[in-house]
Structure 1
Amino acid sequence: MEFPGGGSGGAALGGSSVPAFLTKLWTLVEDPDTDPLICWSPNGTSFHVFDQGRFSKEVLPKFFKHNNMASFVRQLNMYGFRKVVHIEHGGLVKPEKDDTEFQHPFFIRGQEQLLENIKRKVTN
């Protein structure tokens, strides 16, 4: 059976079901092998995606049924993740390298049990 978000359901954590997209995302961010392309921020309250071209070609197809960065970002948005925008000196600062940072209040390093609080937005 296919569920929205890809995969065949969610992994059960603490008796509740967590969508497959979120468990895959957690695995990706936690995996030291993927750190050059996706990793936790130093404080663990957000994660970074570096080099979107390589990330979408090398990492996405291993975990998802596509290699489309826009689809990945759309999924993040559906689950309430927000792009972190750094504003310094009164203007938007463009990172030196291809670095996009995403954050969700319940996606925190070492707090996997919080994943069950992340809900997909319902579209009317």
Structure 2
Amino acid sequence: MGSIVGWLSYGTDLTEEPAAIMRLAGEDTDSWVTPRLALAARPRSIRSLRTPGGVVAVGLSGQLQNRGPLGETLRQRSRSVTDDDADLVLHNHLAWGESMPERLDGIFASPSGTSGTNG
């Protein structure tokens, strides 16, 4: 069974709290941490990509049912898209932003975050 956790901080610098993030998410966890935002997922299923606006990250717990058609559509926009579900969700987020859930079919939870150019 998978798990996913997000932490948005308005005071604590999360890059100084790796032990707290691991306590929340558990062992064998993939994480992405900035000073204000942290995502963690188990099994290891966080993908991130540097964009002109900063680093975008998504976590995924679950699976997509429309992996094939979604991948074909996204590969028309970017050759770097793989068939990995978390990678498909990341590229879907980049391509369609807030309307991305309309294009996904499956049983999953997927938080996302963006770290601006200043972290």
Calculate the TM-score normalised by the size of structure 2. 0.26
Calculate the TM-score normalised by the size of structure 1. 0.26
- Tell me which of the two structures has the higher relative contact order, counting C-alpha pairs closer than 8 angstroms and 6 or more residues apart: 2
Greater per-residue strand proportion? 2
